[in-house]
Amino acid sequence: MEIIEHYLYTKEHEWVNIEDNIATMGITDYAQSALGDITYIEFPDLNSEVEQFEQFVSVESIKAASDIYAPLSGRVIAVNENLESDPEIINKSCYHKGWIAKIEISDPEEKSNLLTPEEYRKFLESMEDKET
Amino acid sequence: MPLQYEGILAEYESTHRAATVFDTSHMGEFLIEGDHQEIGLDRLVTCSIEDMPLRTCRYGMVLNEQGGIVDDLIVFRLEKAKWFIVVNGTTTDKDAQHFRKYLKNKMAFHNISSELGKLDIQGPLSREILKSFIKNIEKLDYYTFNEFELLGERAIISRTGYTGELGYEIYFPWNKTVQLWEVIFQDRRVKPAGLGARDILRLEMGYSLYGHELNESISPLEAGLSKFVDLKKDFVGREALLKRQAQGVSRKIICFISETRRSPRSEQKIYDTQDVEIGSVTSGTFSPSLKRGLGMGYVNNVGVALGQKILFGDATNKFPAEVTTRPFYKEGSLKT
């Protein structure tokens, strides 16, 4: 599973890339692989306020429907509109072209609730241990 | 059969564009020897079989006394008085009991499910691929079958399937089925496909799946399968069907297409545009070809018309869709 070294992660398999006070977020390689071919995405309204770890995006794959949670609190300032007609971009490039939303961060302190790449890698390994 | 091999969408595309193989060895097969009238086979199945030419297949159902569907099946006429019947996997034991109960000569009935493997090769290239090692396969017309010699064994091969594409179903001794799989896959154009792709393909055609659209409380009238019922002959469940027909059915199957990529899921509810609940979804999927969600379900007898707008979802989230006719997907190579 690919993990990007300068991103932060959640236990719900979202990634976040923070530049100044803007957080670009998406789902991890593990999540896209588990979901399978993604067929539909529903975004929150632009400028809506979201709370950290609150459900704010829905995705459907060929196998199932799933919720995506906001990694940080703030205001939704952009969504990746390319995904509306081609949601499978997430499967092809989950960390780059398949970004989902940009959030203007309201509370930088919340970063401490996120996992570092090393912590996320360990979290994935512990999940594998449980499965086997 | 696994849910997927390479990936559901890739397997779906391969079936529409080239050819895939589904391992359907779980299906049940019965061999029945005897005159269909004398042994009571004609009374068991809803379709007319009297007029079936040799080496043809016919889709039908077996019903309970209340007219509910015990299973759907395909009848093969091997000889004038010898029949091969293919039933669903999970219902095989129940079906065998049902057949034994109603057949007059129990000795005529053989459940040969454990002796046979089954591989379905489906897709526009399937004929060409089989031609390279099965002589005369190209002579099979839609819904006919023949017996072929294959790897020194006898195979029954029918031109049938569950995908909407040109295809064949091969019934083969179970202990040689792995060998047959290997022979087919020598052609690199063939890919294996699993249940995930199979479910999308069958839903795009509007084919019913036992346990979803069909069960013992649903009759062929409600399921939209009346054309596979010969009401002119006597069969188990006929009286109940005539009664249901006279009274009018209380629910009816519908096919509907989502107005967006949002896909219906089984167990969701169906509502009219005033948010009144009128039924429930039995199957749903995303159609990669139509780029829309599509579904099948039952609505109570409110007279839902073609083209009518409905909603699917639950109490909090409802999504718009339009009632349409099956098949949803009309580009298949099925009858080429």
The CATH number of residue B108's host domain is 3.30.1360.120
- A84 in a domain, yes or no? yes
* DSSP H stretches of helix in B164-278: 177-184, 195-205, 220-223, 238-247
Judged by a CB distance cut-off of 8 A, whether residue B285 touches chain A is: yes
Calculate mean pLDDT across residues B152-171: 98
A39 touches chain B (CB under 8 A): yes
Position B210 in a domain = no
Q: How many CB pairs under 8 A join A and B?
A: 36
Looking at the structure, tell me whether residues B151 and B276 fall in a common domain. Answer: no
Which CATH number is A91's domain given?
Answer: 2.40.50.100
First-to-last alpha carbon distance for chain B, in angstroms, is: 27
Q: What is the mean pLDDT of residues A14-35?
A: 97
Whether residue A1 is contained in a domain is answered as: no
What's the number of domains chain B is made of?
2
* Residue B137 located in a structural domain: yes
Substitution target in B263, B265, B266 with the highest count of A β-carbons within 10 Å is: B263
State the best of A39, A57, A63 to mutate against chain B, taking most chain B CBs within 10 Å: A39
Task: Judge whether A23 and A74 are in contact, CB under 8 Å.
Answer: yes
At B127-153, the pLDDT tens digits run: 999 999 999 999 999 999 999 999 999
Q: Are residues B12 and B87 in the same domain?
A: yes
Mean pLDDT of B38-66: 98
Domain count, chain A: 1
Task: Please give the ipTM for the structure prediction.
Answer: 0.81
For residue A121, is it within any domain?
Answer: yes
In this complex, do A40 and B7 lie within 8 Å of one another by their Cβ atoms? Answer: no
The predicted pLDDT at position B190 comes to: 98
Angle at alpha carbon of residue A36, lines to A33 and A41, rounded to 5°:
110
Residue to mutate among A32, A33, A35, A37, with most B CBs inside 10 A, is A37
As a whole number of angstroms, the distance between CA B166 and CA B160 comes to 8
pLDDT at residue A63 in the model: 86
Q: Give chain A positions within 8 Å (CB) of B293.
A: 40
Q: Tens digit of pLDDT for each residue in B165-221? A: 999 999 999 999 999 999 999 999 999 999 999 999 999 999 999 999 999 999 999
Domain assignment present for B308: yes
Interface subset of A 86-125, CB within 8 angstroms of B: 87-88
Q: What confidence score (pLDDT) does residue A80 get? A: 98
> A39 to chain B: which residues are within 8 Å by CB?
261, 263, 286, 288
Q: Which residue has the tokens 């379900």?
A: B297
Q: Please report whether residue A126 resides in a domain.
A: yes
Whether B302 has a pLDDT exceeding 90, the answer reads no
The answer, for A36 touching chain B at a CB cutoff of 8 Å, is: yes
Q: Report yes or no on A2 lying in a domain.
A: no
Cβ of B260 and A40 within 8 Å?
Answer: yes
Residue B336 has pLDDT above 90, yes or no: no
A67 touches chain B (CB under 8 A): no
pLDDT at A48 over 90: yes
Residues of the domain holding B154: 8-203
Where does the pLDDT of residue A132 fall: very low under 50, low under 70, confident under 90, or very high at 90 and above? low
| SS3 per-residue string spanning A50-115 | ECCCCEEEEEEECCCEEEEECCCCEEEEEECCHHHHCCCHHHHCCCCCCCCEEEEECCHHHHHHCE
Band of residue A131 on the pLDDT scale cut at 50, 70, 90: low
From the list B196, B260, B262, which residue is nearest A63 (CB)? B196
B117 belongs to a structural domain:
yes
